[in-house]
Structure 1
Amino acid sequence: MRTPKTFYTIHETEGELLGHDHLGRPVYGDPTTEYRKFKGELEPYSSKLAETNYGLFVQVTNRLFCEPNPNILTTSQILYKDEIYTVTDYLQYDKHFEVLIKKGVA
Structure 2
Amino acid sequence: MRLTKTLYIVENIQSDTPSGVDEFDRPIYEDVPRKTPFLAEVEPFSSRLAESQYGVSVEVSNRVFCLPNDKIRIQSIIEYNGLEFEVTEMTTYDNHYEVLIKKVK
TM-score bucket (shorter structure): 0.7 to 0.9
Counterpart for residue 69 of structure 2: 69
TM-score (norm 1): 0.86
**Partner of residue 36, structure 1:** 36
| Structure 1 unaligned spans of 5+ | none
Name the Cα RMSD after superposition: 1.9
**Structure 1 counterpart of 2:88:** 88
How far apart in 2 are the matches of 1:73 and 1:21? 37
Counterparts of 2:17 and 2:79, CA distance in 1: 28
Identity %: 38
Q: State the Cα deviation string for residues 46-82 of structure 1 (Å, max 9, x = none).
A: 0010001110010000000000011100000001110
Return the letter of the residue paired with 2:49. L
Amino acid at match of 1:92: T
Q: State the number of aligned residues.
A: 102
Listed as ranges, the gaps of 5+ residues in structure 2 are: none
**Whole-Å separation in 2 of the counterparts to 1:68 and 1:3:** 12
